[in-house]
Structure 1
Amino acid sequence: MGYRLDPIEPGRTALIVVDMQHDFLAPGAPLESPDGRAMVPRLNETLELCRRAGVFVVFTAHVHRADGSDMGRFADLYPPIAERAALIDGTPGAELYAEVDRRPDEPVIRKHRYSAFFGTDLEMILRGRGIDTVVATGVTTEDCVHATIRDAMFRDFRPAVLSDLCATYDHPDLGHGAMKAAEVHAATLVVLAQSTADVLTSEEFRARLSG
């Protein structure tokens, strides 16, 4: 079992950079992922590789309205969202992290749920460009990256996740035990590799693009 994405055709491939925002990456941010911040230089190298190769690059940003009308269960799950302290559209924290190298012509899909496909025009954009392969990076591995790449697979895109370009944060004990970020990350990748997508490193991705 498992899925292998080979070959990777750059002109039919999109790299989705999920939720690399200040509220996830900045030191002391409400939803901080230190591992996400640490991978930014490596992500930027892969972004440059994709541009040279002709891979379509698209970013996402998880945002909510200040009036709370689109928060749904997120207001129950995440106190910083309920308190309007994180991911509020139009605030600096909701913008892409300043050190992430986004070019002005690369779209930002503003979404309100974990999946970048839910309630957005992402699929129309990808289909309109002849994309059939989706490669996911970003934060967090188990939530928005996971949901986005599963939705991509449900829509019959050829899915992949770059294991060293995704990250998360420590999970507290909510009655089922705590998990460190590295454990959550690894467990999610195991599940994705078995059931959903090709899980490969950025170097493996580079080799398949050039090969």
Structure 2
Amino acid sequence: MDSYEKFETRKRDPDPNSVALLVIDVQNHFYSMARPVLPALNATVDICRRASVPLFFTRHCHKSPADYGMLYEWWDGDLILDGSSDSELISDLERRADDPIILKNTYSAFRGTNLEEKLLEMGVKEVIVTGVMTNLCCETTAREAFVKGFRVFFSTDATATSSAELHEATLKNMAYGFAYLVDCSRLEKAFSKS
């Protein structure tokens, strides 16, 4: 399998004065996928906190059949119901009580939420996407952010999914057409210059 690096022809650092960190769906339902990247994810959260970058956490959950949409059919009814332990954020995640949580019921963190309005009110022009699943909610959120005019940075080491093949495929897509790729060390270097 070819590496995503051959598609990474554009490089740029995020601007800590205009970027926000999006931590997508790091919930108990996805614990087995998220566990291996939790150290990098928590390091990314720490790097962003030290640079005074605003953080937004999302929780994917469903409240009633009215919000199931196509996900019910696609996943044979296996949905994350609000109020269940599966819907809660993983306890090992470095989230503070005052960090905002965006509730969503589809792959995109922008669809049917007030995330875009909150980002624009804060003067945010760039987003860093982290979390799970790389190829579903993270990728869809990144694509929609790009279409909405945000500069997108996509984490290679703080995103995870069910297989390396799917993870790599998304990184190729992101590098080719939607996002600058970053990892903990690149963020650390970029923010230490500010």
Q: Is this a same-fold pair by TM over 0.5?
A: yes
Q: Which residue of 2 aligns with 1:139?
A: 132
Alignment of 1:121-200 (within 5 A): 121-169=114-162, 181-200=163-182
Helix, strand or coil at the partner of 1:39: helix
CA contact (8 A) 1:59 1:108 kept: yes
CA contact 1:5–1:159 (8 Å) conserved in 2: no
User: Counterpart amino acid of 1:5?
Assistant: R
Return the structure number with greater relative CO, CA threshold 8 A, min gap 6: 2
Ranges in structure 1 where 5+ consecutive residues have no aligned partner: 26-33, 170-180
The SS at the match of 2:92 is coil
Aligned-pair identity (%): 36
| Structure 1 residues 43-122: aligned runs within 5 Å | 43-65=41-63, 67-79=64-76, 82=77, 86-122=79-115
Distance 1:89 1:3 in 2: 39
With normalisation by structure 1, the TM-score equals 0.84
Aligned residues: 186
Residue 5 of structure 1: CA displacement?
2.8
Instruction: Specify the alignment match of 1:176 in structure 2.
Output: none
- TM normalised by structure 2 equals 0.91
Distance in 2 of aligned mates of 1:3 and 1:158: 12
Residues 3, 198 of structure 1: 8 Å contact kept: yes
> Contact (CA 8 Å) 2:33, 2:160: kept in 1 or not?
yes
Q: State the SS of the aligned residue for 1:9.
A: coil
Pair 1:4 & 2:4 matched = no
CA distance in 1, matches of 2:67, 2:33: 28
Structure 2 SS opposite 1:42: helix
Q: SS where residue 135 of structure 1 aligns? A: strand
Contact residue 60 and residue 103 of structure 2 kept, 8 A: yes
Contact 2:60 2:87 in 1 (8 A): yes
Whole-angstrom CA distance in 2 between matches of 1:160 and 1:41: 19
Counterpart-to-counterpart distance in 1, 2:33 and 2:80: 19
Segments of structure 2 that go 5 or more residues without pairing to the other structure are 1-6
